[in-house]
Structure 1
Amino acid sequence: MNIFRISTLWVPSYHLKMDWKHPKRPALKEWTIKAFDGRLLLACLGGLGAIPCLLFAYFALTMGWVVNLMLTIFALFIFINTFLLKQFYAIRLTDTGGEICHWKALPDFLFSSMPWLMLLYILFIIWGLSQSPEMALGALASGAGLGIVYALIATSKGYKESQLRFQQWDFEWNEIYEAIYDRKSHAIGFNVIESKPYIARFKEENENFYSCRIYFHPKMAEQILQIFKEKLGPNIPIKEGRIHYRTID
């Protein structure tokens, strides 16, 4: 199981509470999954900017291990919630197609706590200044400085709305013209006829680009794959390979 891509730990059964567009259609399969929908390598590279700041605090300044540990925890918290954030997916497959609801797996208290965390960072820097200029500079250059920047962004109304935006889309089986099974990511990707002109632009970059993606637990793979094969029929074979992601969104 690819723990970096999907997770079923502490995932509520959101699919039982969704306001589906077609609730009267009998469900073949319903489930909720938490998954990272993007390029893991690109996301990790995006967080490398914090490393020089932490190294500066560790080696260039005289700071105790407790302070370094606190700054590391802050930086790691920011890194995970900025670059490696997973999304909740509530998925429902029926005889005629499927529906997918997804939103970022961010707890609301994260935003309400940001002003308090920012105040804590500022107090931490002031305390460091009272001890020595080097300690205050180290705090500002590493975890505390990153925390203040992150808190300023996270407390803005626009950022909160963009992060908590709920998205819902559906498809019909007869709209799918190509599909792929990504065994390592535990996902099926597919493209629909309506978006074919849009997809064609990115096929030149990588033929395995699929704009629609469905994630599932490895134990469900055989069942989900069988549903897709039966609904798509022999004219649309499901190839096996790695799905190409253009962004980390």
Structure 2
Amino acid sequence: MFKLNKDLELPPQLKWKFSYEPELLGWTIRARNYNTFVANCMFLFLSVALIGLSYVVYLVPAPGEGVMARVVIGFCFYMIFSFLILSVTHQRMNFAYRFTQSGVECCEWKDFPEWALKFLKWVAGITAIFFVFMATIDPSFLLGALIGPGGIGLTYLSMAYSKSYREMHTQYHHLIHEWKVFTQLAIATNREVVDLKYSTTMEGDDFVTNWNINIFCRRKQKEKVAELIRPFLSPGVPFIKAKVNVPLSTD
């Protein structure tokens, strides 16, 4: 019926269940599926603490270390750990949606950030060259070369070859919902999100649990998405506009 821009490719680990049915609507989007206000506060708090630690690093010089070397080492210390904090508190999840006559499918995935490894590798190389050059002027920069580029190199190695770290930053999920399970359709008034509530009995339970799925939309498209969904829902399902309780952010 209409297409939203597709800029992400579905990974081979995920396959559409209703791929044999014509697609009514489909799109991909990158979004933060968590409380971004809390994440911003955490990053601000940790950044302030990191500034204090960087200042402590600056105040405690090694023997023969000059003021300029201390400044550069403190700056490198701040940049390394600031990058690590940012990579933890502000991650994005990839989403792909596909609507058919049978229902809505949502594929969620987060690939390991290979770009971060390349970034660290380049930063380590550039700072190493800088410290070696500065060491020809002030030998104390040789110590900075060990702490700055050396620390970045160790960070790169821990990220590149740590299995647990890679698993923590890699996720694949496939959600499948038939239209009949939805009990409420809502257009978020505070975010570009369409919210669908549904009831289901979890495996091993003997009671019904209420859940919801947030459908991330691009700017000014949530109304169109909601209008497409509405005819497929069971008669009497409420269609409302309401504030989404979980703050979300999208590209």
> TM-score, normalising length from structure 1?
0.67
Whether the 8 Å contact between 2:183 and 2:199 is mirrored in structure 1 is: yes
C-alpha distance in 1 between matches for 2:51 and 2:220 = 40
Which of residues 53, 73, 97 in structure 1 aligns to 2:103? 97
What is the aligned counterpart of 1:131 among 119, 131, 140? 140
- Indicate the SS of the match to 2:52: helix
Partner of 1:188: 194
Structure 1 position 15, deviation (Å) = 5.3
- Match for 1:57 among 44, 54, 73? 54
Alignment-derived partner of residue 224 in structure 1: 225
Query: 1:104: how far off?
Result: 1.9
2:94 paired with 1:88? yes
SS at match of 2:185: strand
The worse-fitting range, judged by mean Cα deviation, of 155-164 and 63-72 is 63-72
For the structure 1 residues 57 and 16, does the alpha-carbon distance in structure 2 shift closer, same or farther, using more than 3 Å as the test? closer
| 1:67, distance to aligned residue in structure 2 (A) | 5.2
Indicate the SS of the match to 1:27.
coil
Cα drift, residue 38 of structure 1: 0.5
- 8 Å CA contact 1:183–1:241 kept in 2: the answer is yes
Q: Extract structure 1 runs of 4+ deviating beyond 4 A.
A: 15-18, 62-72, 113-120, 144-151, 195-200
Structure 1 residues 92 and 38: CA distance shift in structure 2, 3 A: same
Paired residue type of 1:107 = P
Identify the range of structure 1 (237-246 vs 181-190) with the bigger mean alpha-carbon deviation.
Answer: 237-246
Identity %: 18
Q: How do 1:169-208 and structure 2 match up within 5 A?
A: 169-194=175-200, 199=209
Structure 2: runs of 5 or more not aligned = 60-66
Q: Residues 89 and 103 of structure 1 are in contact (CA less than 8 Å); yes or no, is this contact kept in structure 2?
A: yes
Aligned-partner SS, 1:244:
coil
Deviation at 1:44, TM superposition (A): 2.1
Q: How far does residue 155 in structure 1 lie from its aligned partner after superposition?
A: 3.6
Q: Distance in 1 between matches of 2:230 and 2:42?
A: 37
Query: Deviation string for 1:111-163 (max 9, x for gaps)?
Result: 5x59958987xx89x999x739x989xx79xxx97996796366421231232
Matched with 2:63 is none
- Residues 211/81 of structure 1: CA separation in 2 closer, same or farther (3 Å cut): farther
Deviation at 1:234, TM superposition (A): 5.1
SS in 1 for 2:220: helix
Give secondary structure in 1 for the equivalent of 2:221. helix
Q: Given the superposition, is the C-alpha separation of residues 16 and 71 from structure 1 closer, same or farther in structure 2, using an over 3 Å criterion?
A: closer
Q: 1:157 to 1:188 in 2, by over 3 A?
A: same
Go from structure 1 to structure 2 and tell me whether the alpha carbon gap of 1:192 and 1:228 turns closer, same or farther (over 3 Å shift).
Answer: same
Quote how far apart the aligned CAs of 1:29 are: 0.6
Q: TM-score under structure 2 normalisation?
A: 0.67
Measured after TM superposition, the shift of residue 198 of structure 1 is 7.3
Quote the residue 2:29 is aligned against: 33
Consecutive unaligned residues in structure 1, runs of 5 or more: 1-7, 201-209
**Larger displacement relative to structure 2 (166-175 or 42-51):** 42-51
Specify whether residues 14 and 220 from structure 1 end up closer, same or farther in structure 2 by C-alpha distance, changes over 3 A only: farther
CA distance in 1, matches of 2:197, 2:153: 40
Partner of 1:14: 9
Secondary structure class of the residue paired with 1:78:
helix
- 1:150 and 1:236 map into 2 onto residues whose CA distance is 52
